[in-house]
Amino acid sequence: MKKILLSAALAGISYFSHAQVSIDHISYGVKGGLNLASVKGKDVEGTSTLVGFHGGVQTNIPLAGGFTLQPELFYSAEGTKMKVELPGDGDAIIETTAKTHLNYLNLPVLLQYQHASGAFAVTGPQIGYLLSAKLKAEGISEDVKESFNKINFGWTLGVGYVIPTTSIGIDVRYNFGLTKLAKGEDGQPSAKAFSRVLQAGVFYRF
């Protein structure tokens, strides 16, 4: 899977290198918005959506025929929520919600097609670097970064719209994590648990 992602990224770069692109037409921008994140997979049960945010920068490089190459770099607050039972006083059991906060620095390299109307679609690979990981429940926070893989490969699909005669746009994306999030313990294989993030954002191109 990693080879597929790398091949897709190299194909985009190769295509760009053979296209006649004017530097004057390259645009830069900033973006930010809402994350609805969770963790799903065969070995995961009972998880629910954790609300977070994302924000960063992007570059839009014209290719040909309405296509552009769009590398980005942004911070993304991801993770999930899960109902858990914790021991209380005596034999008491406390039912509460535990939140796993996974904070990434993401680098997607997207191929975008934009229609003359301003509507566009994007797709492409993404690599994420884990900045921090914390488990929070009942006012207690624990650093669990060592339990997670530092690198998270994924794939992005999205649509958006640039408001005519402006440099402002909106987009909605779904990011499929392809790397198992947690490390295996004591020589055991890691759980089949993958990130899933729905993003809604606003961007401005300079």
CATH architecture of 2-205: Beta Barrel (2.40)
In this prediction, residue 89 carries a pLDDT of 66
* Residue 124 token pair: 């492409």
Nearest by Cα to 34 from 168, 200, 173, 204: 200
In this prediction, residue 161 carries a pLDDT of 98
In this prediction, residue 16 carries a pLDDT of 47
Question: Could you tell me the pTM of the whole model?
Answer: 0.85
194, 181 Cβ separation under 8 angstroms: yes
In the chain, where the domains are located: 2-205
pLDDT along the chain (206 residues), means of 10: 55 51 78 98 93 97 94 98 77 83 98 96 98 92 96 98 95 97 82 96 96
107-117 residues labelled b (16+ CB within 10 A) or e (exposed): bbbbbbebeee
In this prediction, residue 184 carries a pLDDT of 81
